[in-house]
Amino acid sequence: MYYIVTGAAGFIGSNLVKALNERGEHNIIAVDNLKKADKFRNLVDCEIADFLDKEDFLKKLQDGFFDGLVSGVFHQGACSDTMETDGRYMMENNYRYSLELLNYCQNEEIPFLYASSASVYGGGSEFKERRENESPLNVYAYSKFLFDQIVRRRWHKRNAQIVGLRYFNVYGQREQHKGRMASVAFHFFNQYRAEGKVKLFEGCDGYANGGQLRDFVSIEDVVKVNMFFLDHPHKSGIFNLGTGQAQSFNDVAVATVNTLREAEGKPALSHAELLQQGLIEYIPFPDALRGKYQSYTQADIAALRETGYAEAFLTVEQGVSRYVQHMIKIAG
């Protein structure tokens, strides 16, 4: 029997493959599109049974090649570029592909854990898994939103586990291939090493410079939640996956810079001191993001807690520090 992980060479997918390996699972079908070839690096330290291009995989699935051979599907594959303007591509890649997998898993009674997104909430201020709170601002968010609606419509007819996880701002190991879509912690790390300072957006939507608030969640916690649902196949639903506590971009910058300073044998500084010394710099807010930007997100994780998931989430100070320490180690 095999586990299938789509988007397996990507950020969250590769971390799930590694987590399965750590549980002794090596019969894993890794599915992805290696048009960006550097993503292969995420799987170098992982054990898999086979790698399939996403189109080849879908054809094999439709032909019945995997019938009776699958223990569970982690569907993480998607175009996650919120600035993508080709709506036809986005809907085919994110929505239609997901629908094919959902149909297959239901027909074969296979647990299906998939990546939704906090972007479905748009510019709203309430982040609870209810239809009235959802108002996507871009076509990426709409592709995720629409798939969630299909899941809801079919909810009472399901015959196997379905779990949709609305990821908030995930950061951590194995995201280096994402380029401009990588986390701010990743970018701050590289900016500081290259220029000796980090750059944040000036304030918008009534927030002070660098004061916009997001629910930043470590990949370590994202993996733990996925494994929790794998271990509880009778639990289904669409759930927010964040820490439940919004923190500012300034907090991420301070945690990143101070961890790097510690590695240099230098003392930690406050935000005000970092600003005064020119180690934090603010740049104009991009016009292209106006009206399409979430200045505040904070996951309501009550539904997740009600499933029995009780582990504490890493704060920005904890998670970013651990991530930066890891990046320092691999950078040499």
- List, by residue number, the catalytic residues: 140, 178
Give the residue carrying structure tokens 């049974």: 49
- Per-position DSSP letters for 103-166, written without gaps between them: HHHHHHT--EEEEEEGGGGTT-S--SS-GGG---SSHHHHHHHHHHHHHHHTGGG--S-EEEEE
Measured CA angle at 30 (ends 33, 101), to 5 deg: 80
Q: Measured between alpha carbons, how far is residue 95 from residues 42, 100, 141, 144, 146 in Å?
A: 25, 9, 11, 7, 7
- Contact (Cβ atoms closer than 8 angstroms) between residue 130 and residue 152: no
Give the residue carrying structure tokens 């009674």: 109
- H, E, C per residue of 253-317: HHHHHHHHHHHCCCCCCCHHHHHHCCCEEEECCCHHHCCCCCCECCCCCHHHHHCCCCCCCCCHH
* Spatial distance between the Cα atoms of 173 and 175, rounded to a whole number of angstroms: 6
Q: What residues does 30 pair with on adjacent strands?
A: 5, 51
